[in-house]
Structure 1
Amino acid sequence: MSDEQAVDVYPSMTVVKEQENERSDKIEPLQLGKRLKEIRVALGLTLEEASKRTGLARSTLSKIENEQISPTFQAMQKLASGLEIDIPQLFAPPKQIKATGRRDVTLKEAGKPHPTTTYEHELLATQLTNKKMMPFKSRVRARHFDDYPDWIRHDGEEFLLILEGSVLFYTEFYEPVTLNEGDSVYYDANMGHMLTSVSDEDALILWVTAS
């Protein structure tokens, strides 16, 4: 077989090898030290604080972060335990955070009104779609537990901040609690809940619902 024929017989092998080389060039080597430092910084820990939590010497942590030494499996167990993470997190590449540029300004009293029999809602940030949070202000019109036909329940978690007045916050698993101006509560919205105003004026609250 001539050299010219050999080139014709095996062109695909050459292409495959070139593609494999291109892929291998794009694979970044694991930088365990860099990953460890990113985790420590994200937790707001100094090397000294991380040393106390993991039981590893500060100098050892510094050498690991600077890729001067590789941690033993026992050291990785101490890192995972002290930093309260799973060992696989030490090997996972950091997530790339990209700004979406989403923004929605709602001027005072310029939200979308949504009245009900028990609340007078003002929906905020209504121009944005597919929000991860739903913020809104509400004037609590309800004055008695019996003003509600049933518990309010919905998916997600909810944060509640009292802006004006006072409310009595009912939940199906806890005793009612009085919340005054400046008080707040975070709770599972799947749990039955409701509010009644107990101040002279109807209370004004800020609600943030997260799915």
Structure 2
Amino acid sequence: MTEPILDDYPSLSLQKSSVENSVEPIKLGNKIKLIRNQLGLTLEEASQRTGLARSTLSKIENEQISPTFQAMQKLASGLNIDMPQLFAPPENKGASGRRDITLKGEGKPHPTVTYEHELLATQMTQKKMMPFKSVIHARSFDEFQGWVHHDGEEFLLILCGEVIFYSEFYEPLTLVEGDSVYYDANMGHALISSSKEDAHILWVTAK
């Protein structure tokens, strides 16, 4: 089951009041438009590169919708940039020893209808992993527009609560605090909370 491109990136109206009251989504439109213009690409050309509909790109650039995490990965891949470049200007390259510290609660928030992400280590560019913490608001697979697919491999660790991990080629798996799973992100997957309170997880996506 593969979700349509346009439906994969819905307007993130943040239907859940808990999300609305906690954080505001990052406004990425101006940054994406700047990168596109620096590359000398029209909206149509950027659409062909990223696989996102031209109308969807236009809405993202004009802050009419907020891109999902999967949409940001397609933008980064299609525009040949690292995802952190969507959140901060590139660092000056120099010494090989680098580090990026994210203090508790100071990650970049990116809420969606089903997940509330907190992106970590966003200042460091040219890295091979993208770590982020997430609160899982979804309670049913039906809340997703079909399977989630994206490039790379992914690791998730349950920090608290209980989740059901759905994957395209395996039976649903219940995971509790301390459990983890590593999987091919090209395989359809989705995650819902099955505990009374929304589960919290650590997610790491690798190229």
The two structures have a TM-score, normalised by structure 2, of 0.54
The answer to whether the aligner puts 1:144 opposite 2:140 as a matched pair is yes
Aligned-pair identity in percent equals 74
**1:130 CA displacement:** 1.7
CA shift, 1:131, in A, is: 1.3
Which residue pairs with 2:115 in the alignment?
Answer: 119
Distance in 1 between the 2:97 and 2:112 partners? 33
Normalized per residue, which structure has more helix? 1
Report the structure number with the largest CA radius of gyration: 1
Give the equivalent residue in structure 1 for 2:101. 105
Q: More relative contact order in 1 or in 2 (CA 8 Å, sep 6+)?
A: 2
For residues 62-77 of structure 1, the aligned pairs below 5 Å read: none
Inter-partner Cα distance in structure 1 for 2:166 and 2:106: 30
Show the counterpart of 2:3. none
* 1:150-169 Cα deviation digits (max 9, x unpaired): 11110000000000100000
How many residues in Structure 1 have an aligned counterpart in Structure 2?
A: 113
Cα distance between partner residues in 1 of 2:157 and 2:131: 11
Give 1:192 shift: 0.2
Q: Deviations over 1:7-64 (max 9, x none)?
A: xxxxxxxxxxxxxxxxxxxxxxxxxxxxxxxxxxxxxxxxxxxxxxxxxxxxxxxxxx
Shift of residue 100 of structure 1? 1.2
Q: Which runs of 5+ in 2 are unaligned?
A: 1-94
CA RMSD of aligned residues (A): 0.8
Unaligned runs of 5+ in 1: 1-98
TM-score (norm 1): 0.53
- Provide the C-alpha distance between the structure 1 equivalents of 2:147 and 2:169, rounded to a whole number of angstroms: 12
Instruction: Give the partner amino acid of 1:121.
Output: H
SS in 2 for 1:129: coil
The alignment partner of 1:152 has SS state of coil
- Give the letter for the 1:124 counterpart: L
